[in-house]
């Protein structure tokens, strides 16, 4: 049974998430604030954390940053604010998904299922890739190692968030192809497209920043989506 940690200072929200999660077969542990979440993560192992941003004692961003120092647990952030800055800040810290309140419990559960499945499958995928040799793409000073899951620019390693890697790898593998926002969301995030493309645009902005001068390879197609063109 998968074990979720639900962190929110509002009891009603915790209870709603708990109700839907238990219905789908998850075991639930609750935490009222960031400090409580850190303490529970030191004592137990969880398959995923649903973390509110604005909480007393310690906010969700700070708690997430501290937890990731000693455990690699996927995180979905909840927030009543939908500002791009909040999303960028969360994604830069390695947050897997970002859900704005008020949210649909059914959609949240769908996202939880996808993140857990993807996180569980990642080690196996990397191992399978290493058996067949490294698959590498190089153009000018950009080197993308799919098997080693790393990116180098002019010989220097680039540190990116997990979702930046996923997005870049998918676009490079489909280089020269016009990729709609719907296609990228479905293939990279793994869930059905719900009409909010701000998450994708935020990650494209982060990825361009990480690629430096090679951001030129990420071409915006107005009214359609993006294309990797080198």
Confidence (pLDDT) at 83: 65
Provide the pLDDT for residue 186: 83
Kindly report which listed range (30-44, 73-87, 148-162) carries the lowest average pLDDT score.
73-87
Task: Read off the pLDDT of residues 195-222 as tens digits, 9 standing for 90 and up.
Answer: 456 778 888 998 999 999 999 999 999 9
Question: Residue 120 pLDDT > 80, yes or no?
Answer: no
| More confident of the two residues 193 and 196 | 196
Quick check: do 3-122 and 133-228 share a fold? no
Query: What DSSP string runs through 6-54?
Result: EE-S-HHHHHHHHHHHHHTT-EEEEESSHHHHHHHHHHS--SEEEEESS
What pLDDT score was predicted for residue 163? 83
Q: Which fold has domain 133-228?
A: Arc Repressor Mutant, subunit A (1.10.10)
Span 5-46, pLDDT tens digits: 999 999 999 999 999 999 999 999 999 999 999 999 999 999
Q: Give the residue with greater pLDDT, 56 vs 217.
A: 217
Q: How confident is the model at residue 82 (pLDDT cuts 50, 70, 90)?
A: low
Mean pLDDT of the chain: 86
Fold exhibited by the domain 3-122: Rossmann fold (3.40.50)
All structural domains of the chain with their residue ranges:
3-122, 133-228
Are 218 and 207 in contact by the 8 Å Cβ rule? The answer is yes
Cα separations in angstroms, 226 against 45, 197, 202, 213: 38, 12, 13, 17
- The order of strands in the sheet holding 97-100 is 27-31, 3-7, 48-52, 75-79, 97-100
Give the separation between CA 99 and CA 91, rounded to whole angstroms. Answer: 12
């Amino acid at each position: 049974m998968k074990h979720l940690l639900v962190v929110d200072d509002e009891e009603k929200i915790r209870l709603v998430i708990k109700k839907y999660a238990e219905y789908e077969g998850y075991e639930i542990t609750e935490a009222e604030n960031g400090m409580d979440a850190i303490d529970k993560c030191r004592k137990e192992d969880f398959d995923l954390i649903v973390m509110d941003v604005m909480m007393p004692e310690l906010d969700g961003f700070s708690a997430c940053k501290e937890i990731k120092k000693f455990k690699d647990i996927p995180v979905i952030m909840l927030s009543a604010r939908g500002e791009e800055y909040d999303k960028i800040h969360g994604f830069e810290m390695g947050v897997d998904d970002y859900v704005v309140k008020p949210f649909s419990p059914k959609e949240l559960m769908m996202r939880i299922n996808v993140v857990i499945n993807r996180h569980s499958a990642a080690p196996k995928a990397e191992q399978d890739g290493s058996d067949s040799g490294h698959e590498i793409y190089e153009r000018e000073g950009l080197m993308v190692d799919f098997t080693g899951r790393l990116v180098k620019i002019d010989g220097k390693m680039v540190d990116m968030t997990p979702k930046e890697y996923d997005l870049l790898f998918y676009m490079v593998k489909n280089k020269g192809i016009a990729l709609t926002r719907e296609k990228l969301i479905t293939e990279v995030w793994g869930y059905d497209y719900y009409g909010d493309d701000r998450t994708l645009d935020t990650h494209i902005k982060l990825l361009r920043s990480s690629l430096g001068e090679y951001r030129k390879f990420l071409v915006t197609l107005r009214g359609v989506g993006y294309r990797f063109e080198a």
